[in-house]
Structure 1
């Protein structure tokens, strides 16, 4: 798999060059793939909807993951002009492009879960 540098992990603050590192930077962190899975199912969601779908996920971590995915261009944040204001997040084209990655993770995990022993 190509031209990844020998030291695959990139120190904080430095740009990743290896495609695997770039993908891991977006999907990194506990809960991130599951938050993304919810967006792939729904296309859009509020933080309340995500909290209901992932009840073991704390509000603090959910906020961090939403900020991470927004900064990576995977989702977009939309704030209403109404009162009280509400925020809705929508999946971007870059986010939709991660669907085969998450699907592969699902299939790999299913095979491991169902494997004897």
Structure 2
């Protein structure tokens, strides 16, 4: 694997993907979280994608998966110390999103309207 160009490069490779930052965020909100709870919290993610992202986060040492070997199956997920430190690093991004939510919503709505106008001209 090639080296990282900087710390941001390393961080972005670890959280690459639409769902990983959200998974880290929701796992940071409390203690161990069952799969179903996580699925409800990370809306719009498919089961396949959530499972894949959780496996990658576990392989990267950010998430711990605990299988209680029970019937019916009981599994929960929690952050490792490395995962907690990354989740804390994401807090300023969350704060920025909250502070700029109205403006970002407006910009995305404007972009969507422009894309729709372009598509209707074709």
TM-score, normalised with respect to structure 1:
0.77
Name the stretch that deviates more: 14-23 or 103-112: 14-23
Mapped to 2, the partners of 1:86 and 1:15 lie a distance apart of 38
Mapped to 1, the partners of 2:61 and 2:5 lie a distance apart of 17
User: How many aligned residue pairs are there?
Assistant: 105
In the alignment, what sits opposite 2:76?
88
In the alignment, what sits opposite 2:51?
63
In the alignment, what sits opposite 1:50?
38
User: Does 2:95 match 1:101?
Assistant: no
Mapped to 1, the partners of 2:45 and 2:101 lie a distance apart of 22
Mapped to 2, the partners of 1:81 and 1:47 lie a distance apart of 15
Mapped to 2, the partners of 1:105 and 1:15 lie a distance apart of 25
Mapped to 2, the partners of 1:89 and 1:98 lie a distance apart of 16
Name the structure where helix makes up a greater proportion of residues: 2
SS at match of 2:39: helix
Structure with higher Rg: it is: 2
Specify every segment of 5 or more residues in structure 1 that has no aligned partner in the other structure, as ranges: 1-12
Residue by residue, what CA displacement relative to the aligned partner does 1:58-93 show, whole Å, maximum 9, x if unpaired? 111101110111111111111112223322111111
User: Does 2:29 match 1:41?
Assistant: yes
